[in-house]
């Protein structure tokens, strides 16, 4: 174990020496590849950044990056993505109550109940409707072909949010059958197993899989468990139309280990999540048009059990139920040379309720509430010139909202993309709209009844987003990207407490976020790719939670000695304020954690199976290789150096 620790430390030193900047993906020229050689490795950390014809930017983490990071959930998949900050209690599983599991994007996401970030599976909402914020364990990563991160309001893609995380499900697109399975185990009795199979025959394709993860955790009551299963069945009706059905089930639990040194009676209990999503989808592809129509139903639970109450010795079980259903339609029209018009319509029904049982036998039931949002949208862009030379793509669009509880709003956006060969510049403005959710209703009807009907006078929160970015590709050797952004947030809804009585909901708070991201991807040698990134944030007020002033990310993938691969990732996060941004007038964030630097690595050996169509991989993955002391929450120390040994086979 001592030699293993020394080896991990040396790997950490190597990661520290990485150039730091951040990323996109450079494409290598195709050339013949011998069966015994792999000349291309995936980019580390992220698959790349992409700017679309509406000057909207997204970051994608692909299936290969998830494997190289040895990530077990959404938080660890995005832990080193530039602009993203995470919080957690346990090695496996995210405790849904309090601060036990969350993802934050450029300072967005700390408002609870409620959140400026929405999470989706193929565009379908996946979060807790009652409290209007994400639960990370509902976003299982096993069905993920890719995870898309939208770091700003993009009304042409998603409505009613300031930032979004979207999971793209796996699909078999080439003919034949492919199967993959893995098993791994390691520190703190952690155990992981997953299996999947995809197939395509003529006009029919399918994909099925599932996973199980468990860890007893690095502290007493730091236990977590994740289970999921998913499936897709698709059919190509003809050369222009496809139909598919996707379903996802998960069942998870995570405990709160409590503050270090505190009484066990202060621990917040156990949080269990469960959901079942069904999505039907029709897609079309024509020379002058392409688009989709989706119909979905998603329901589940987020149950907080054994939570201490304000009365000593009395605990409660809170059973939250959420449900979403709706339709989404979108069509891209190419009606003239160089031009594109996009039209779409989303209709979503949100429902939720809860039952609360106290250990004294008393029940508190909230019968629930529901609301609808109808949001048509349209946008247009036009390409002047050609992308092989000098070009410009101006664009503009708008989304309209009609909310059954909070009225109507408009969300315009405009942008332009300039380019010349390997240089690209983009500029964009967009207005983000975020409606209050069921959280304001349940708070008024059950938690703080003195709020009365004041929630009905609320209007949506708004943010004016400005962005300017430039990228420069140096052939197939390097890619540099720089993005500056400014968020002007207003009308954040808060409780205005007495005096005078009674308390009321009001749209009063404002904030500003200024920042920049710099990224660098380098491909210095065949079989070696290096990534680095830097994110800077400056906020007003200055104690905005989960908005560190500086974050550095570095990583590499190196294929060597033919059958070995080393994947390294590292991250430095400056000190920052933490804990939810309370929705109370005049409240301040006072809890702060120190800076930390983490190094993680995975070493793989690809096993040859002569004469068999089988690929094998045995790997050793380590986290926190330099064994530093760090925490995401005051009093919640995270694990020291950990290791996982695993085996993966595919055929």
pLDDT at 590: 87
| pLDDT tens string 532-567 | 999 999 999 999 999 999 999 999 999 999 999 999
Residue 362 has pLDDT above 50, yes or no: yes
- Residue 297: strand, helix, or coil: strand
Range of lowest pLDDT (107-116, 454-463, 479-488, 599-608): 107-116
pLDDT at 310: 87
Tell me what percent of the chain is helix, strand and coil, each rounded to the nearest 5. Answer: 10, 60, 35
pLDDT at 401: 98
Name the nearest CA neighbour of 604 among 557, 553, 538: 557
Q: Which residue has the higher pLDDT, 3 or 410?
A: 410
* H or E stretch at 68: helix 63-68
Helices (H), 432-536: 438-442
Name the nearest CA neighbour of 524 among 471, 478, 473, 475: 478
- Residue 270: strand, helix, or coil: strand
Q: With contact defined as beta carbons under 8 Å apart, do 417 and 425 qualify?
A: yes
pLDDT at 646: 98
pLDDT confidence tier of residue 582, bands split at 50, 70 and 90:
confident
pLDDT at 32: 42
DSSP string, 114-147: S-SEEEEETTEE-SBTTTTB--GGGS-STTEEEE
Q: Which residue has the higher pLDDT, 350 or 476?
A: 350
* H or E stretch at 14: helix 2-16
DSSP at 590: -
| pLDDT tens string 591-643 | 999 999 999 999 999 998 888 899 999 999 999 999 999 999 999 999 999 99
Residue 4 has pLDDT above 80, yes or no: no
Secondary structure in 3-state letters for 489-502: EEEEEEEECCCCCC
Q: Which residue has the higher pLDDT, 418 or 32?
A: 418
- Provide the Cα torsion 96, 99, 100, 105; round to 10°: 90
CA 23 to centroid of chain Cα atoms: 17
**Residue 240: half-sphere exposure toward Cβ, Cα within 13 Å:** 5
Residue 8 has pLDDT above 80, yes or no: no
Q: Give the chain's mean pLDDT.
A: 92
pLDDT at 39: 54
Residues of the chain above pLDDT 90, percent? 89
Fold of 2-650: Maltoporin; Chain A (2.40.170)
pLDDT confidence tier of residue 397, bands split at 50, 70 and 90:
very high
Q: With contact defined as beta carbons under 8 Å apart, do 25 and 50 qualify?
A: no
Say how far apart CA 577 and CA 590 lie, in whole Å. Answer: 7
pLDDT at 636: 96
pLDDT at 588: 82
| pLDDT tens string 11-65 | 333 333 333 333 333 333 334 444 444 456 889 999 999 999 999 999 999 999 9
Residue 2 has pLDDT above 60, yes or no: no
DSSP at 301: E
CB-based burial label for 596 (10 Å; 0-12, 13-18, 19+): middle
Name the nearest CA neighbour of 407 among 378, 374, 379, 430: 374
Residues of the chain above pLDDT 70, percent? 94
| pLDDT tens string 85-127 | 999 999 999 998 768 899 999 999 998 899 999 999 999 999 9
């Amino acid at each position: 174990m001592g030699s293993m620790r020394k080896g991990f430390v040396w790997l950490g030193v190597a990661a520290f020496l990485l150039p730091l900047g951040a990323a996109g993906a450079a494409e290598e020229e195709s050339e013949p590849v011998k069966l015994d050689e792999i000349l291309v490795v995936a980019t580390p950390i992220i698959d790349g950044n992409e700017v679309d014809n509406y000057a909207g930017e997204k970051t994608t983490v692909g299936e290969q990056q998830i494997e190289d990071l040895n990530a077990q959930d959404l938080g660890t998949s995005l832990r080193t993505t530039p602009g993203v900050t995470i919080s957690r209690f346990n090695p496996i599983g995210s405790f849904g109550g309090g601060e036990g599991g969350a993802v934050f994007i450029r300072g967005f996401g700390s408002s609870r109940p409620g959140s400026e970030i929405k999470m989706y599976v193929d565009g379908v909402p996946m979060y807790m409707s009652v409290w209007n914020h994400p639960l990370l364990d509902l976003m299982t990563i096993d069905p993920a072909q890719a995870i898309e991160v939208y770091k700003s309001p993009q009304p042409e893609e998603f409505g009613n949010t300031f930032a979004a995380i979207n999971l793209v499900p796996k699909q078999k697109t080439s003919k034949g059958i492919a199967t993959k399975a893995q098993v791994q185990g390691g520190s703190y009795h952690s155990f992981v197993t997953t299996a999947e199979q995809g197939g395509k025959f003529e006009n029919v394709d399918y994909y099925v899989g599932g996973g199980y993860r468990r860890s007893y955790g690095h502290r007493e009551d730091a236990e977590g468990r994740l289970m999921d299963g998913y499936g897709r069945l698709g059919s190509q009706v003809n050369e222009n139309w496809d139909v598919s059905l996707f379903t996802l089930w998960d069942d998870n639990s995570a405990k709160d280990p409590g503050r270090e040194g505190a009484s066990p009676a202060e621990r917040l209990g156990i949080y269990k999540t469960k959901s079942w999503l069904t999505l039907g989808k029709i897609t079309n592809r024509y020379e002058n048009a392409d688009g989709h129509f989706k119909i979905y139903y998603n329901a589940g639970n987020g149950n907080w059990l054994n939570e201490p109450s304000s009365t000593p010795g009395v605990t409660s079980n809170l059973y939250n139920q959420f449900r979403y259903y709706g339709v989404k339609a979108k069509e891209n029209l190419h009606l003239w040379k160089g031009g594109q018009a996009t039209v779409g319509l989303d209709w979503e029904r949100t429902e939720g309720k809860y039952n609360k049982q106290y250990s004294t036998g008393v029940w508190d039931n909230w019968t629930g509430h529901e609301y609808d949002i109808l949001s048509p949208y349209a946008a247009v862009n036009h390409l002047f010139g050609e992308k092989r030379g000098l070009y410009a793509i101006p664009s503009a669009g708008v989304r309209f909202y009609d909310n059954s509880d909070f009225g109507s709003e408009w969300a315009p956006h405009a942008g332009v993309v300039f380019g010349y060969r390997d240089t690209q510049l983009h500029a964009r403005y967009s207005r983000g709209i975020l409606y209050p959710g069921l959280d304001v209703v349940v708070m008024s009807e059950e938690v703080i009844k003195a709020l009365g009907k004041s929630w009905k006078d609320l209007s949506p929160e708004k943010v004016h987003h400005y962005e300017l970015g430039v990228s420069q590709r140096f052939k197939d050797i390097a890619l540099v990207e720089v993005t500056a952004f400014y968020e002007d947030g207003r009308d954040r809804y808060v409780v205005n407490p007495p005096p005078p009585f009674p308390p009321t909901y009001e749209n009063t708070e404002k904030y500003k976020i200024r920042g920049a991201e710099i990224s660098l991807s380098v491909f210095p040698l065949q079989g070696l790719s290096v990534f680095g990134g830097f994110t800077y944030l400056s906020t007003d007020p200055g104690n905005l939670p989960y908005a560190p002033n500086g974050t550095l990310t570095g990583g590499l993938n190196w294929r060597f000695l033919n059958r070995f691969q080393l994947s390294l990732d590292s991250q430095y996060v400056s000190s920052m304020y933490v804990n939810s941004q309370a929705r109370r007038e005049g409240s301040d964030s006072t809890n702060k954690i120190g800076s930390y630097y983490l190094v993680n690595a995975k070493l793989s050996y690809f096993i040859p199976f002569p004469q068999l169509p089988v690929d094998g991989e045995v790997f050793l993955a380590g986290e926190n290789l330099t064994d530093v002391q760090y925490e995401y929450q005051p009093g919640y120390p995270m694990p020291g150096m950990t290791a996982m040994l695993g085996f993966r086979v595919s055929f």
